[in-house]
Structure 1
Amino acid sequence: MSSKGDLMVDEKKKKRMISNRESARRSRMKKEKHMKDLNEQIFYFTKKRDEMVLKIKEIFKGHSTLEMENIVLRTQKQELAKRLEYAKAVCDWYEGVGVSSPMGGVQDPWLRPFEQQPPPSNSVPVMSSAGFSKF
């Protein structure tokens, strides 16, 4: 009878061993699939990151261009505002609104071309040499 009991124990051990092997195989396959999925995600997110980096560079380049255009436009706006102010002063003077000076306090030398302008304070006077005079 002991041989019959040993056979049953051996049979249970074999079934358990087969079951354990199958379970280990499924576990390895599950782990392998999980690793494959993770590698696919790494590839996907790396590709997305690279696309975003390119987009950011393009946006930054566009931003820099717009910033430079903005600076130019602001400068032009200031210049046009000054010209408008001068033009209004001329119109006011022409219509008799100007009180103190014929140009109503306008400081633009282009609007008073025949008036002598004092030289800038930082300029150096030009002197001629005595020995090279033709007159």
Structure 2
Amino acid sequence: MSSHGNLMVDSKKMKRMISNRESARKSRMKKEKHMNDLNQQIFYFRKRRDEMVMKIEGIAKGHSELEMENVVLRTQKQELENRLEYANSVCDWYENDGVSRSSMGVVQEPWLRPLEQQQQQPTNSMPMFMGFISSK
């Protein structure tokens, strides 16, 4: 009976050993699958990060361009406001002081000169660039 008892113990040990090996193999496979999933997530998130960085760089570049355009537009706006203010002051001066057009003198801005002064200029004079082109 002792040899029969040893066989039962050996058989149980063998079953347990096989079961442990199978369990360890499953555990290794599960761990490997988990590692593969984590590596795929790393790849996915790195790719997404790179895409976002590219988008952010594009947006930042566009923002910089808009800021530069904004500066130009603000400068132009200020220039136009200054011209309008000057034009209004000339109009106020002309209308309120009762000064005749001939006593206004020469206005610095050609676009603000009275109509008569502009018409007194010779009509056959070409702009400088036209004269330059036609002389060749």
Using structure 2 for the length normalisation, give the TM-score. Answer: 0.71
Matched, 1:8 2:17: no
Report the AA paired with residue 86 of structure 1. Y
Deviation of the 1:94 alpha carbon: 1.9
Question: What does 1:86-97 align with in structure 2 at a 5 Å threshold?
Answer: 86-96=86-96
Higher helix share: 2
Report the AA paired with residue 94 of structure 1. Y
Q: Deviations over 1:3-29 (max 9, x none)?
A: 111011001100100110010010000
- Between the aligned partners of 2:22 and 2:39, the Cα distance in structure 1 is 26
Residues 19 and 60 of structure 1, relative CA distance in 2, 3 Å threshold? same
Question: What does 1:1-135 align with in structure 2 at a 5 Å threshold?
Answer: 1-96=1-96, 109-110=108-109
SS at structure 2 position matched to 1:75: helix
How many positions carry a matched residue from both structures?
106
Report the AA paired with residue 96 of structure 2. G
Deviation of the 1:109 alpha carbon: 3.4
- Between the aligned partners of 1:57 and 1:96, the Cα distance in structure 2 is 57
Alignment correspondent of 1:119? none
* Structure 1 gaps, min length 5: 113-135
Alignment correspondent of 2:129? none
Report the AA paired with residue 109 of structure 1. Q
- Between the aligned partners of 2:64 and 2:96, the Cα distance in structure 1 is 48
Using structure 1 for the length normalisation, give the TM-score. Answer: 0.72
The Cα RMSD (Å) is 2.1
